[in-house]
Amino acid sequence: MVENDLVSLAKNASKNAYVPYSHFPIGAAVKTKDGKIFTGCNIENASFGLTNCGERTAIFKAVSEGYTNFSEIAIYGEAEEPVSPCGACRQVMAEFFEPSAKVTLISKKGETVEMTVGGLLPYSFTDLN
Ligand code: THU
């Protein structure tokens, strides 16, 4: 699968976003190191703090299927500017990606910004030992 497909899969995943409170759909597509792709969207709740972000939905879907090593992620937001991942999602990315892994942020117009996991969360907490 060509790299750009991750971008279109992230956008497509946002169609399933459950966002009755924020009306702010997010979609994400994550690629495992062996090339498998998982997608996710944000899922809100009437108890707002229970909301799961799109990035974490995609990553947790993959982890629950036995994949814990990822090479890159694309994140689409229905916004004018590419959406920057929240702190919780950065910490989850730091757990499962190498610092050099590519993160592509995508706006609703299709503009992209490329970052790395390490650039988004430098000097991250990674281990209890
Ligand atoms: N959201 C994400 O899905 N990912 C982020 O990194 C930032 C925020 C979602 C959570 C909530 O459903 C909506 O965006 C507004 O905060």
User: Has residue 128 been placed in a domain?
Assistant: no
pLDDT at 9: 98
User: Has residue 125 been placed in a domain?
Assistant: no
CA dist., res. 115 & res. 101, Å (int): 8
41 is in an annotated binding site: no
**Number of folded domains that form the chain:** 1
Average pLDDT in the 56-68 region?
Answer: 98
- Rounded to the nearest 5°, which phi and psi values hold at 71? -100, -30
Tokens encoding 61? 């879907």
Tokens encoding 63? 């982890």
For the chain, what percent of residues have pLDDT higher than 90? 93
Query: Please, which residues have CB within 8 angstroms of residue 62's CB and are 6 or more apart in sequence?
Result: 30, 32, 36, 38, 68, 70
pLDDT at 1: 46
pLDDT at 127: 77
CATH of the domain at 44: 3.40.140.10
12 lies in which domain range? Answer: 6-120
CA distances (Å), origin 123, targets 20, 106, 114, 115: 35, 25, 19, 15
Q: Which mutation among 19, 42, 59 tests ligand 1's pocket best, with the greatest number of atoms within 8 A of CB? A: 42
According to the 3-state scheme, what is the secondary structure of 3-27?
Answer: CHHHHHHHHHHHHHCECCCCCCCEE
User: Has residue 1 been placed in a domain?
Assistant: no
Distance 103 CA to ligand 1 centre (A): 16
User: Has residue 65 been placed in a domain?
Assistant: yes
User: Has residue 127 been placed in a domain?
Assistant: no
